[in-house]
Amino acid sequence: MQAKLVPWSSVVGSSITLHQKKDGPVVAQLMLMNVKVDSSATLKDQHEAISKRIIKALAVLNVVERFVDEQDIHCAETIYQCDGVIENAYTFIEDVCKIAGYKEVEDEDVDAG
């Protein structure tokens, strides 16, 4: 399986195409929306930036899936009716932020916690 990064719009994002064989027909295409990449960066640097975002996204998805499984969430009502879900949400949010990152503090006088 071969993967290629294909910039298709500097405004929208990029896509990754999957090919069974090198230069063979496309068998799947993953659209990457809202990925901020420097259009003047090399294709390799753009690929690395997008790859890092994909890895983060997959790690966040793993955290979400683990939380849903551990809290035995089968529907929205579980979230609202089980106090334990909300109590454990604080740790869940922290776990997500550790992966996704925290918002940068613009004012140096503000304590980041």
Q: What gap in Å lies between CA 2 and CA 28, rounded to an integer?
A: 11
pTM: 0.60
Per-residue pLDDT reduced to its tens digit, 58-110: 888 889 999 999 999 999 999 999 999 999 999 999 999 999 899 988 876 66
Task: Evaluate if residue 1 carries a pLDDT over 50.
Answer: no
5: left (phi over 0), alpha (psi -120 to 50) or beta: beta
Q: Residue 32: its pLDDT value, please?
A: 59
pLDDT digits (tens, 9 = 90+) for 16-60: 666 667 777 766 666 655 566 666 777 777 777 777 877 888 888
Domains of the chain by residue range: 1-33, 42-106
Instruction: Characterise 29 by phi-psi region: left (phi > 0), alpha (psi -120 to 50), beta (else).
Output: beta
